[in-house]
Structure 1
Amino acid sequence: MRVLLTGSSGWLGRFLAPLLRAEGHHVTGLDVAPGAHTDVIASVADRDAIDRVFAEHRIEAVIHGGALHKPDIVRYPKQAFVDVNVTGTLNLLEAAVTAGHDRFVFTSTTSLMISQAIRDEAGDAAVWLDEDSGPIEPRNIYGVTKYAAEQLCRLFHAEHGLNCIILRTGRFFPEDDDTHSHPPGENLKANELLHRRLTVEDAARAHIAALARAPEIGFGTYIVSAPTPFARDEAAELRRDAAAVIARHFPDAPALYGARGWELPSRIGRVYDSGRIQRELGFAFGTGFAQLLDALRAGADLPFAHDADYVSPQELARTGEGQCQMS
């Protein structure tokens, strides 16, 4: 298929574009910043540009990964999030329907599921989050606009029969967390593989699976996060003493962490359950906490990317040219 990949210069795009080509697809990359896999420099908010891309490249399917993200909140006004995340998605959906497409994959985020109450972790048990959790009450403009875009996908499936798969991805960014500094980078990412993170490679592979299965599924929303080793009935203990629960599942984890100078989490306030994508799409994650421990035992490279100095191509373009650009 001739696939339009938005956000092609970004972290996900650099892994997803080669996988799409390896599957035999012809990929047209669109982004506001240049990149190795970007063919068209444009914003999804520019409807004329989108129409030209569809016509000139004879687009047959869309994977929409381009967006303004949570760290962008400090750099862009709320209107920019509406323009890119909502209007941009609407532009692509309308163009896809006009072109007679049968599949559309939308990269969403688990972040939109986190209300302020969940963020505060005030309860006496970890919150277990799956696709049926709710009500959805996003706590910031990023979550609000991504949820609005999800609802546009649902509407276009209902009104036009466009097969849409929404992937609510957990964390897979390589840079340090923008709000937490303890434990430091690699240690935090390792901990998050237990309940809220996945590798960028698995994120890319999930998009490939969604593209292939969209006509069969019709419409579906899926959490994409490394499989948690925990069970729902451990939620209260995870909130009280997560390290004890982890040691029960992985007896040598404390020693492996100690040898590296790392800390296991003392408590976990939320767990993302990705069981549905495994059951319904037959998707198998390649990396989770068990594979991390395998790497620690073997003294091998960590199975996830960490780059404390990573800066997105979007931000490099913005600061380099002194103007607001969005992807």
Structure 2
Amino acid sequence: MRILLTGSTGWLGRFLAPRLRSAGHSVVGLDVAPGPDTQVIGSVADPAVVEEGFAHGIDAVVHAAALHKPDIVRYPEQAFIDVNVTGTRNLLSAAKAAGHDRFVFTSTTSLMISQTVRDEAGNAAVWLDEQTGPLAPRNIYGVTKLAAEGLCRIYANEHGLPCVVLRTGRFFPEDDDTLREPSGENLKANELLNRRLTVEDAADAHIAALTRAPELGFDLFVLSAPTPFSRSEVRELKSDAKTVIARHFPDAASLYEKRGWTLPTSIGRVYDASHAERRLGFRCQTGFAQVLDALRDGKPLPFAHDPGYTSPALAN
């Protein structure tokens, strides 16, 4: 198939484009910034840019372009509405008109995090899966991504366009824009316990979604590295995470100590990606166990860390 990949110059796009080609597809990249896999320069908010992309004889869309949480300090709310909501609608409308049988949308677990969840004020970790709700996104990023998910649902249910929504956990390479302790690599390693996946796994999940979309019709999946924890451990995770981690990974503390890292003392949320494993047939290949393997064997860490990374910017 000839795939229109939006966000082709971004962090996910640069891993996803070659994987799409390896799967036998040709790729037409669309992004606001030039890149090696980008043929159409412009915003999905502009119908003319979307029309230019579809002029390449597109068979399916993987829509990964978006303004993200770090962009809140760079752009006004209207820009988020234009790109994340109107842009998604432009692509869905064009895909419907072209008679497509699949559409894959990159969403975010961030929209599941209300201020209450973020504050982690309860006495147990919050277990987050596709049934979590009611949803109350805490910023314009989450609000617009949730609205875009709703558009995908409408186009699937009312217009017969099979849509798969992937709510991805964290896979960005840069440092967290709010947390300073622990340090970047240490934090990313910790998050593979409960809320992160690698960009490679995120890209592979999109390939799986593209393949399965026609038979799924509409479905929505939380994507994160497989958590070792169970729902029965949520109270202990909140009060004494180190003991729970030691139960699953007895040598984690000693390996971390040699690296000069710290394990979390409390974990306030856990993403459950088991629905993707059951229905999509996809399971992330990299998790916390692979981090420990790397520490144990003195090998490179199995995830990317780039404090200087900045996502492509909109044209002025």
Following the alignment from structure 1 to structure 2, what is the Cα–Cα distance between the partners of residues 262 and 153?
42
| 8 Å CA contact retained: 2:40, 2:49 | no
Any residues of structure 2 matched to 1:86-235 within 5 Å, and which? 86-235=85-234
Following the alignment from structure 1 to structure 2, what is the Cα–Cα distance between the partners of residues 129 and 282?
19
Q: Give the TM-score taking structure 1 as reference length.
A: 0.96
Q: For each residue in 1:169-188, what CA deviation from the matched residue of structure 2 results, as whole angstroms up to 9, or x when unmatched?
A: 00000010000010000000
Following the alignment from structure 1 to structure 2, what is the Cα–Cα distance between the partners of residues 309 and 81?
23
Following the alignment from structure 1 to structure 2, what is the Cα–Cα distance between the partners of residues 67 and 271?
24
Q: Give the TM-score taking structure 2 as reference length.
A: 0.99
* Runs (4+) off by over 4 Å: none
Following the alignment from structure 1 to structure 2, what is the Cα–Cα distance between the partners of residues 223 and 40?
30
Q: For each residue in 1:168-224, what CA deviation from the matched residue of structure 2 results, as whole angstroms up to 9, or x when unmatched?
A: 000000010000010000000000000000000000000000000000111000001
Any residues of structure 2 matched to 1:1-327 within 5 Å, and which? 1-54=1-54, 56-312=55-311, 314-315=312-313, 323-324=315-316
Following the alignment from structure 2 to structure 1, what is the Cα–Cα distance between the partners of residues 14 and 88?
21
Q: 2:13 is matched by which residue type in structure 1?
A: G
Q: 1:267 is matched by which residue type in structure 2?
A: S
Residue 53 of structure 1, CA deviation: 1.8
Following the alignment from structure 2 to structure 1, what is the Cα–Cα distance between the partners of residues 208 and 52?
28
Following the alignment from structure 1 to structure 2, what is the Cα–Cα distance between the partners of residues 106 and 251?
38
Could you say what secondary structure the match of 2:240 adopts?
helix
Following the alignment from structure 2 to structure 1, what is the Cα–Cα distance between the partners of residues 37 and 103?
20
Following the alignment from structure 2 to structure 1, what is the Cα–Cα distance between the partners of residues 48 and 235?
52
Residue 284 of structure 1, CA deviation: 2.5
- Identity among equivalent pairs (%): 70
Following the alignment from structure 1 to structure 2, what is the Cα–Cα distance between the partners of residues 200 and 169?
10
Residue 48 of structure 1, CA deviation: 1.6
Q: 2:43 is matched by which residue type in structure 1?
A: S
Runs of at least 5 residues in structure 2 that lack an aligned partner in the other structure: none
Q: 1:34 is matched by which residue type in structure 2?
A: P
Could you say what secondary structure the match of 1:82 adopts?
helix
Runs of at least 5 residues in structure 1 that lack an aligned partner in the other structure: none
Following the alignment from structure 1 to structure 2, what is the Cα–Cα distance between the partners of residues 53 and 295?
42
Following the alignment from structure 2 to structure 1, what is the Cα–Cα distance between the partners of residues 290 and 10?
26
Following the alignment from structure 1 to structure 2, what is the Cα–Cα distance between the partners of residues 52 and 128?
43
Could you say what secondary structure the match of 1:57 adopts?
coil
